[in-house]
A and B are shown apart, each in its own frame.
Chain A
Amino acid sequence: MLSAAISDFAAWIATTPLSNFFTSHLWLIPASQSVHYMALAILFSSAAIIDLHILGLVRVHQALSRTVQRFVPGIWIALVVMTLTGLLLLIAEPARSLTTWEFQSKMAMLLCVVVLTLFMQRRVAAQSGGWGSSADVPVSARLFAVASLTLWLLIIVAGRWIAYHA
């Protein structure tokens, strides 16, 4: 069974020296979480600025391609930092991370939004003229923006709920 394999994997991680280092220096967990939140501030704001631009709610005086060019690096750089701090948090508390539906759904949604964002980035780059006015923005772009915002918000909620798993 997959869930048994995941539980065994989590149990094994808990026996590693790195995991034990975290549990004997517990302050490392809130420290890693703090960096996780700082990166999240940059990631979510960057994604939200792009999504809100597509929806015509912010920076409508700029071409969308400029907004994406300016803020998409924030998403990817912050995502790297969050993956690293996330890995540390996972190693520190493997069972809480790997075996809970909160964590698993968060990872599934993260995969979806990353793929969608890559698609969006490619489409905007191909659209060399940029969309002049909000009337020109295709429906697919608006759908992306709503999906992206929704997914990031649900990811944040799921992330917070990991701590409350009974």
Chain B
Amino acid sequence: MALSDLLLGIEHSALGTAIREGASWFPMLESLHVIALVSVVGSIVAVDLRLLGLASRDQPVMRLTNDLLPWTWGAFVVAAISGLLLFSSTPVRYFDNTELRLKFFFMLLAGVNMMVFHFVTYKNVHTWDTSDAIPGSARLAGGLSLAFWGLVIVFGRWVGFTL
């Protein structure tokens, strides 16, 4: 089955049609998507600011991440589900949308950045968890994360204007 057939199939499905043509499904899904994405980005920003030494300096990094990461993941799941449902309303046009592709590209970069941080820099977090000297790699990870998620928001907003 060609991809275009799949996308058309989703577009003409009962679900896709209901979201596209219903009076309130799309706005409600969008609202849920906004709530979820601001929760994802906000909780990540709290950790990034700590990595940059700009906030919560008296808190160990591990404690902050342990507190917040479950919520980040939960919110991400909600964002992904609401995003998929939004996508299903007009999948053909969304798939070709450059801004949406860029949004996913920067989400991918944010994910890679987080993985590199988690598997490399975080390994010896015990040595710098409570000290003032935050390793350069941790600061870089925090800074890149802020930049990537900021771009995700910008391109996400632009999708609605370019579709």
The smallest beta-carbon distance between B147 and chain A, in angstroms, is 12
Q: Is the CB of A38 within 8 A of B150?
A: yes
Residue with the greatest number of chain A CB neighbours at <10 A, chosen from B31, B55, B68: B31
Q: Is the CB of A40 within 8 A of B27?
A: no
- Which of B7-15, B89-97, B124-132, B154-162 binds A? B154-162
Q: Mark B residues whose CB is within 8 Å of A.
A: 27-28, 30-31, 34-35, 37-39, 41-43, 45-46, 55-56, 59, 63, 67-68, 71, 150, 153-154, 157-158, 160-161
Please, which residues of chain A bring their CB within 8 A of the CB of B153? 34, 37-38, 41
Beta-carbon nearest neighbor of B35 in chain A: A156
A156 touches B34 (CB 8 A): yes
Contacts of B161 on A, CB cut-off 8 Å?
A: 30
Interface majority SS (helix, strand, loop, mixed), chain A: helix
B75 to chain A, nearest CB (A): 9
Pairwise interchain contact A160-B34, C-beta atoms closer than 8 A: yes
A37 touches B34 (CB 8 A): yes
Chain A residues 68 to 106 lying within 8 A of chain B, measured CB to CB, are 70-71
Can you show 27 pairs from A to B with CB atoms below 8 A apart?
A: A30-B161, A34-B157, A37-B34, A37-B37, A37-B38, A38-B41, A38-B153, A41-B153, A43-B42, A44-B38, A44-B42, A45-B38, A45-B39, A45-B42, A46-B42, A48-B42, A49-B68, A52-B71, A58-B67, A58-B71, A71-B46, A153-B35, A157-B31, A157-B35, A160-B34, A161-B31, A164-B27
Interface size class on chain A is 20 to 34
Q: Are B154 and A34 in contact (CB under 8 A)?
A: yes
6 smallest beta-carbon distances between A and B, as pairs: A45-B42, A41-B42, A41-B41, A41-B38, A157-B31, A160-B31
Cα A45 to Cα B43 in complex, Å, equals 6
CB distance from B146 to the nearest CB of A (A): 10
User: Which of A38, A70, A71 neighbours the largest number of chain B CB atoms within 10 Å of its CB?
Assistant: A38
Q: Is the interface of B mostly helix, strand, loop or mixed?
A: helix
Q: Which residues of B contact A157 (CB under 8 A)?
A: 28, 31, 35
A161-B34 Cα distance, complex, nearest whole Å: 12
Of the residues B30, B46, B67, B71, contact of A160 by C-beta under 8 Å: B30
CB pair B27 A160 closer than 8 Å: yes
Task: Give every chain B residue within 8 A of A37 (Cβ-Cβ).
Answer: 34, 37-38, 153, 157
Known: A30-B158, A160-B30. 10 other contacts (CB 8 A): A37-B34, A37-B38, A41-B38, A42-B45, A43-B42, A44-B35, A45-B42, A49-B46, A160-B31, A161-B31
- In whole angstroms, what is the CA distance A37 to B63 when docked? 27
A123 contacts chain B at the CB level, 8 A cutoff: no
Residue of A with least CB distance to B146: A38
Please indicate the chain A residues that have their CB under 8 angstroms from the CB of B30 in the complex: 160
Contact A161–B43 (Cβ < 8 Å): no
| Closest partner residue, chain B, to A36 (CB atom) | B157
For A143-159 the 0/1 string (1 means CB < 8 A from B) is: 00000000001001100
Among A40, A58, A164, contact of B38 (Cβ-Cβ < 8 Å): A40
Q: Which residues of A (22-58) have their CB < 8 Å from a CB of B?
A: 30, 33-34, 37-38, 40-46, 48-49, 52, 58
